[in-house]
């Protein structure tokens, strides 16, 4: 059974992110219960944390911001995120996430 946090989908990858807004800086802090944990410096108001997440991931993954979309969980700390143009392996590598198989 594959319990990786990221799954390859048509044209990209979908992963579950646990977002912690209001942190001192924006950083990927590892894996938590099969989710990618991301601390966000922006506050959780008026979509600022979501925007910060998208900008951070675009820079970290080397894709354009419009290649990233939050497909569920806009107002929830647990979000489904889709990134077009990369694979699950590339996502894990670029976010420095180690997978124990």
Which structural domains are found in the chain, ordered by start? 6-94 (3.30.1200.10)
89's tokens:
């392996």
Pairing of strands 78-84, 68-72: antiparallel
**What whole-number percentage of the chain has pLDDT above 70?**
94
Is the pLDDT at 3 greater than 90? The verdict is: no
Distance CA 49, CA 52 (A): 5
Contacts of residue 4, Cβ cutoff 8 Å, sequence gap at least 6: 34, 88, 92, 99
Q: How far does Cα 29 stand from its chain's mean position? A: 11
Is the pLDDT at 5 greater than 90? The verdict is: no
Kindly provide the b/e burial profile for residues 5-22, where b requires at least 16 CB atoms within 10 angstroms of the residue's own CB.
Answer: bbeeeeebbbbbbbbebe
Is the pLDDT at 1 greater than 50? The verdict is: no
């Amino acid at each position: 059974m594959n319990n990786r946090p990221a799954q390859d989908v048509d044209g990209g990858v979908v992963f579950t992110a646990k977002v912690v807004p209001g942190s001192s800086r924006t950083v990927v802090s590892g894996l938590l219960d099969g989710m990618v944990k991301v601390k966000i410096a922006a506050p959780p108001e008026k979509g600022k944390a979501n925007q910060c997440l998208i900008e951070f991931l675009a820079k970290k993954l080397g894709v354009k911001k419009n290649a990233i979309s939050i497909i569920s969980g806009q107002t929830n700390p647990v979000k489904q995120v889709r990134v077009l143009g990369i694979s699950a392996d590339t996502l894990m590598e670029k976010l420095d996430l180690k997978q124990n198989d």
